[in-house]
Structure 1
Amino acid sequence: MSRQTINKTALVLFTVIALLAVGAAAGLWWERNHVPADEKVMPATAAKDGRSVLYWYDPMVPTQKFDKPGKSPFMDMQLVPKYADEGGDASTVKIDPGVAQNLGVRLATVTRAPLDLNVVATGIVNFNERDIAIVQARTGGFVERVARLAPNDVVGSGAFIAELLVPEWAALQQEYLALKAVGDAPLEDAARERMLLGGMPESLIRAVVQTGKVRNRISITAPRAGVIQTLDVRPGMTLMAGQTLARVNGISTVWLDVSVPEAQAGAVLIGQSAEAKFAAFPGKPVQGRVTALLPTLNDAARALRVRVELPNKDGRLRPGLTAQVSLKGAVGESALLVPTEAVIRTGRRALVIVAEAEGRYRPVEVVLGPESGTDTVIVSGLGEGQKIVASGQFLIDSEASLQGIISSTSESAEAMPAPVALHEADAVIKELSGTSVTLAHGPFKTLSMPGMTMAFPLANPQLAKGLKVGDRVRVGVRQTDDGLVVERIERAGGGQ
């Protein structure tokens, strides 16, 4: 091979090697610098329009913030920038004012005002159990005649019930008349006393004295107006002394058995005025008053049983009628109030949508107190003067849920729910065991629960360590599906 041929071959090989080197370098550069369009983060976009980025976040975990762009550690997606000119943070949702108007969003203000302790509940009319008369035979005899009556008939005072024949009375009356004819005053007085002891009513004795005739039949009458509940007398019966003939329940007043929700039980007091409205008598409310707070709750409805006494002069209020009852309470201490319709109850917690500037809305978890008229008391979570959504909040809450936004009071990297606040009261230990404690406690104000004596299960048996019967304690309880559970108990003055 000639020298010229060798040189040409070397030149070709060098050229090929050079081209391969350039290609490899170009490929390496392309691999290092080319990113597919669906994975590229372009921070330069922020620089072009002059917008400043506060941080980056994953829309599915909006509370976790990052200081640079990249792929989310939670989801297979790129982090989203949060710009400074957007205001708020990842826990807010922005809605155009025009869209908000179309949604029917209506705002209200968190106010502080005295509590309206009026309670509205339902009640059922019952007999006044204190207005009962028992009709009995004061002496033995035979029933000769009975009025045409039956149980549940309404009778007036003095109405005829039955006529009795009392043979023993004839002898006593004849003895009296004989002594009266003799004119022996002491013996006459003694005979009159024997007639009275024989069971004769004073009216019958006066009739014998005035007429001088024997009267051995007596009419039994109703001692008061009312409803005959029982009637146990028939013609031809032989009665023993003291045997009951009838039971008459007066209806001049009636009792209204009112079921007050457990959460409002603390607002009801004996002596409160009450107004009852009956569907049977529209526009004619009846005024009454609370006469008793019954010691046991209605187990099915978990409601306090309240007795209201109502006048019933015309007798139109009959047992079994239902009424809507308004119990007039005194004005209580001031508290934060929001419209009840503004509260979103999810079952585990309660939310309120707070309206912020520039059409932004934030779901906030709140602790609720009792209802006061059309408002609900806010124990914690909001401040006076804040604007909240009173209408259309469910649509905003749905939008916040779609964006992965959680309430501001439960923000955390793991979005764990906020702990439930304990309800506290002062108490005295009445009984103590390893798993439960019986307390004579004062009112749980945050539950609107009045003071009473009842047993509570202990969340932890160690809570009873060092305590004994008779100790004055401060107790904290938690509401569960099975009732109240003691979570904290401390001896008065400090020390568990």
Structure 2
Amino acid sequence: MSGIIKNLLVMTAGAALGVGGVILFAPAVLQGQLSTESAEKQPLYWVAPMDANYRRDQPGKSPMGMDLVPVYEEASDSTVAGAVEIAPQVVNNLGVKTAAVIEAPFESRVDTVGYVQYSEDALVHIHPRIEGWVEALFVESTGSPVEQGAPLYRLYSPQLVTAQQELLIALKRGNRILAKAARSRLAALQVPSHFIKELERTREVQQSVTFYAPQSGVIENLSVREGFYVKPGTTLMSIAKLDEVWVEGEVFANQAAFVTQGQPVQMSLDYFPGQQWQGSVEYIYPTLSTDTRTLRLRMRFANPDQRLRPNMFASLTLFARDSETTLMVPREAVIRTGRQDRVVVALEEGQFKSVAVQLGRMNDRYIEVLDGVLQTDRIVTSAQFLLDSESSKSSDFLRMAPAPSKVWMAGEVNAVTPAERLVNISHEPAPEWKWPAMTMNFVASDQVDINQLEKGQTLHFEVAKGEAGDYQITGIHIMSQPRVSSATVNGTINRIDIENRVINISRDAIEKWDRPAATMDFIASEDVDLAALTVGAVVRFTFEVRDDLVITELTPAPTHANHSDTQQH
């Protein structure tokens, strides 16, 4: 162990016992506690060079007169390159603390701020559709409450007077078409329907017309006063609802990945201490702010008691939870060097090793680890910088994962013994187990249908080591079936059944199979054109032996051909 840990031990002892205690006890603390300072190894026994079964507990000669060879205890398999081994007492003195790697859905939390606004999809703007003068204004100021159907303003417009007169003239003449057109024009100018009915009843033109609120809410952006001259396009006022409100917030660019539409949001305001509102992310704006490089969000909150008011400052917390699990470690466990991120893994028998990790997302408590640790690991969360400085001197920063209990291989079936559930397979190398390519027997487990396997198949298969030390096939993916036997031969067509695609042919002998000439039925594949065939034609055809005899190719036979082709495909 290097001087860094020794110095720390001296400082620890000094803090408890004083300077004198350091001089007296520091050597004793160091002695025997660092397992790396071990004594010289002694032989376990001596063996004959030519006969390992001939053993003695001291040096001597073998029966052949040769000097016995000492045998030493082999290094423990638990020793890992770059690992620092520390006695339990020293671990306590260093204040080493560990935590388990967590496998759970990643929970992200984003804290930000926002401002309450009117819900713009419930905001109605009031515009005149004709020019005129505002004779009376029935709302007092911005923020005034208004009910649906309540009067907003009264407008004098010569064009409205003319439109009324046109309707009365049409009614007087009894012209229904003109009367209907006059009513439509008044309605298009937003004249209330009850005003039109009253005009038809009294037959008296009104010099001004009163307009009413289309919805309940509060007055916003009141921009006119009595006597104002207005024309189409002038925004007189707006009516906003407070049953629901929008809250617009911003998050930093590195938090944008944690924000999704529909994500739950919790809101609190200084105006109402101790109270919280629950809402959701309704819209994520497509661009970032050019000034602050932040992403704008729009959230919707119910406001039945209308306590939330526009321009209130709000604190927002956005929550997200993945559906899939991931590996995470405490934030304080990660060592960032600028070029490499590392954690210190607690191994067996008081060993610690620095390993490089690839980090993912981060929340206020945990950091996602994409590569470098296992779910069964324990990570050092306190004093890890000291352990890392020691381990880094010789560590390869690699986390050696245990060999998997199951591996997938590719191979070809050589033989199947269903009664014993044995399958002989020539398989490709399995690097996970450091197996070379070889041929061996496997036992088919109960979940594998051994009747699916046959000689000549190529397949991907999963292998697991059984309790009895054998290797069992636990899963199969058949890649190809055994190659079928085929032959090419000449023959004469006797009968053609187009509907069932059956051709009766008197074929020549097949020498390779030692089959004499015969007359039999064949099934034509879809690639064979039956319409081009005639009874009595001499043909040359290739067929495969499947469940049926299937013709895959068929052509007119050469005039000089009088023997079969014994090629097997």
Look up the SS of the partner of 1:244 in the other structure: coil
User: In the alignment, is the contact (CA less than 8 A) between 2:81 and 2:395 conserved in 1?
Assistant: no
Corresponding letter in the other structure for 1:145 = A
In the aligned structure 2, how far is the partner of 1:297 from the partner of 1:251? 28
- CA shift in 2, pair 1:400/1:239, >3 Å: closer
User: In the alignment, is the contact (CA less than 8 A) between 1:117 and 1:331 conserved in 2?
Assistant: no
In the aligned structure 1, how far is the partner of 2:248 from the partner of 2:291? 15
Partner of 1:65: none
In the aligned structure 1, how far is the partner of 2:80 from the partner of 2:167? 106
Partner of 1:243: 234
In the aligned structure 1, how far is the partner of 2:312 from the partner of 2:340? 38
Residue 257 (structure 1) aligned with residue 236 (structure 2): no
Corresponding letter in the other structure for 2:385 = D
Q: 1:52 aligns with which of 28, 35, 40?
A: 40
- CA shift in 2, pair 1:143/1:374, >3 Å: same
Partner of 2:323: 331
Partner of 1:275: 265
- CA shift in 2, pair 1:312/1:267, >3 Å: same
Measure how far apart 1:364 and its partner are. 3.0
Look up the SS of the partner of 2:266 in the other structure: strand
Q: 2:286 aligns with which of 288, 295, 298?
A: 295
User: In the alignment, is the contact (CA less than 8 A) between 2:265 and 2:281 conserved in 1?
Assistant: no
Look up the SS of the partner of 1:51 in the other structure: coil
Residue 345 (structure 1) aligned with residue 333 (structure 2): no
Q: 1:355 aligns with which of 322, 326, 346?
A: 346
Map Cα deviations across residues 161-185 of structure 1 (whole Å, 9 max, x no partner). Answer: 4322234434543554566567665
Residue 133 (structure 1) aligned with residue 107 (structure 2): no
Q: 1:215 aligns with which of 181, 206, 220?
A: 206
Q: 1:315 aligns with which of 290, 306, 311?
A: 306
Q: 1:408 aligns with which of 395, 412, 427?
A: 395
Measure how far apart 1:251 and its partner are. 3.5
Residue 397 (structure 1) aligned with residue 385 (structure 2): yes
Which residues in structure 2 correspond to 1:70-469 (within 5 Å)? Answer: 91=82, 97=88, 100-101=91-92, 105-113=96-104, 115-116=105-106, 118-125=108-115, 126-147=117-138, 149-151=140-142, 155-158=146-149, 160-174=151-165, 176-177=167-168, 180=171, 188-189=179-180, 191-196=182-187, 200-226=191-217, 228-260=219-251, 262-263=253-254, 265-266=256-257, 268-270=259-261, 272-280=262-270, 281=272, 284-298=275-289, 303-318=294-309, 319-332=311-324, 334-371=325-362, 374-390=365-381, 393=382, 395-398=383-386, 400-401=388-389, 405=392, 408-409=395-396
Q: Which runs of 5+ in 1 are unaligned?
A: 1-48, 54-83, 412-496
Map Cα deviations across residues 143-199 of structure 1 (whole Å, 9 max, x no partner). Answer: 222346444556554454432223443454355456656766566545534544555
In the aligned structure 1, how far is the partner of 2:326 from the partner of 2:139? 63
User: In the alignment, is the contact (CA less than 8 A) between 2:344 and 2:388 conserved in 1?
Assistant: no
User: In the alignment, is the contact (CA less than 8 A) between 2:130 and 2:159 conserved in 1?
Assistant: no
Larger radius of gyration: 2
Identity over the aligned pairs, expressed in percent?
31
User: In the alignment, is the contact (CA less than 8 A) between 1:276 and 1:286 conserved in 2?
Assistant: yes
Measure how far apart 1:141 and its partner are. 1.5
Partner of 2:476: none
- CA shift in 2, pair 1:161/1:386, >3 Å: same
User: In the alignment, is the contact (CA less than 8 A) between 2:358 and 2:372 conserved in 1?
Assistant: yes
Map Cα deviations across residues 190-248 of structure 1 (whole Å, 9 max, x no partner). Answer: 55345445552323212323455443323344433445442221222112234221234
TM-score between the two structures when normalised by the length of structure 2: 0.48
In the aligned structure 1, how far is the partner of 2:188 from the partner of 2:254? 58
Look up the SS of the partner of 1:207 in the other structure: helix
Corresponding letter in the other structure for 1:52 = E
User: In the alignment, is the contact (CA less than 8 A) between 2:267 and 2:278 conserved in 1?
Assistant: no
Measure how far apart 1:377 and its partner are. 1.6
C-alpha RMSD of matched pairs (Å): 4.0
Corresponding letter in the other structure for 2:395 = S
Map Cα deviations across residues 76-133 of structure 1 (whole Å, 9 max, x no partner). Answer: xxxxxxxx99x968955566645655765432112434x3355534241444333332
Larger relative contact order (Cα-Cα within 8 Å, sequence gap ≥ 6) = 1
Look up the SS of the partner of 2:359 in the other structure: strand
Measure how far apart 1:345 and its partner are. 3.4
- CA shift in 2, pair 1:223/1:285, >3 Å: same
User: In the alignment, is the contact (CA less than 8 A) between 2:127 and 2:234 conserved in 1?
Assistant: yes
- CA shift in 2, pair 1:261/1:143, >3 Å: closer
Look up the SS of the partner of 2:196 in the other structure: helix
Corresponding letter in the other structure for 1:51 = A
User: In the alignment, is the contact (CA less than 8 A) between 2:110 and 2:258 conserved in 1?
Assistant: no
In the aligned structure 2, how far is the partner of 1:262 from the partner of 1:409? 35
Measure how far apart 1:388 and its partner are. 0.9
- CA shift in 2, pair 1:369/1:329, >3 Å: same
In the aligned structure 1, how far is the partner of 2:87 from the partner of 2:212? 81
User: In the alignment, is the contact (CA less than 8 A) between 1:367 and 1:379 conserved in 2?
Assistant: yes
- CA shift in 2, pair 1:128/1:186, >3 Å: closer
User: In the alignment, is the contact (CA less than 8 A) between 2:107 and 2:363 conserved in 1?
Assistant: yes
In the aligned structure 2, how far is the partner of 1:169 from the partner of 1:50? 108
In the aligned structure 1, how far is the partner of 2:321 from the partner of 2:39? 58
Q: Which runs of 5+ in 2 are unaligned?
A: 1-36, 42-74, 399-569
- CA shift in 2, pair 1:261/1:168, >3 Å: closer
Aligned residue pairs total 325
In the aligned structure 2, how far is the partner of 1:223 from the partner of 1:102? 77
- CA shift in 2, pair 1:224/1:325, >3 Å: farther
In the aligned structure 1, how far is the partner of 2:227 from the partner of 2:189? 22
Map Cα deviations across residues 399-437 of structure 1 (whole Å, 9 max, x no partner). Answer: 654x694593569xxxxxxxxxxxxxxxxxxxxxxxxxx
